[in-house]
Amino acid sequence: MNFCSNCGSPVVSAIPPGDHLPRFMCSSCGAVHYKNPLLVLGCVPQWEDRILQCRRAIAPRLGYWTVPAGFMENGETMQGAAARECYEEAMAQVEIGSLLAVVNVTHASQVHVMFRARLLAPVFAPGAESSEVELYAEDQIPWEELAFPSGDFTLRRFFADRAAGREDYHFTELARPLRP
Verify binding: residue 128, a second copy, rule CB under 8 A: yes
Could you say which of 32, 39, 91, 141 contacts a second copy (CB under 8 A)?
39
Provide DSSP, 37-64.
PEEEEEEEEEETTEEEEEEE-SSSSTT-
By the 8 A CB rule, do 150 and 101 touch? yes
Verify binding: residue 2, a second copy, rule CB under 8 A: yes
Nearest to 96 by CA among 118, 114, 77: 118
Instruction: Provide the mask over 86-105, with x wherever binding to a second copy is found by CB under 8 A and - wherever it is not.
Output: --x----------x--x-x-
Verify binding: residue 173, a second copy, rule CB under 8 A: yes
Query: Least Å distance between CB 72 and a second copy?
Result: 5
Cis peptide bond N-terminal to 37, omega within 30: no
Verify binding: residue 17, a second copy, rule CB under 8 A: no
By the 8 A CB rule, do 98 and 166 touch? no
Nearest to 172 by CA among 154, 160, 155: 154
Query: Least Å distance between CB 48 and a second copy?
Result: 26
Residues of this chain that bind a second copy (CB under 8 A): 1-11, 18, 20-21, 24, 33-39, 71-80, 88, 99, 102, 104, 106-107, 109, 111, 128, 169, 171, 173
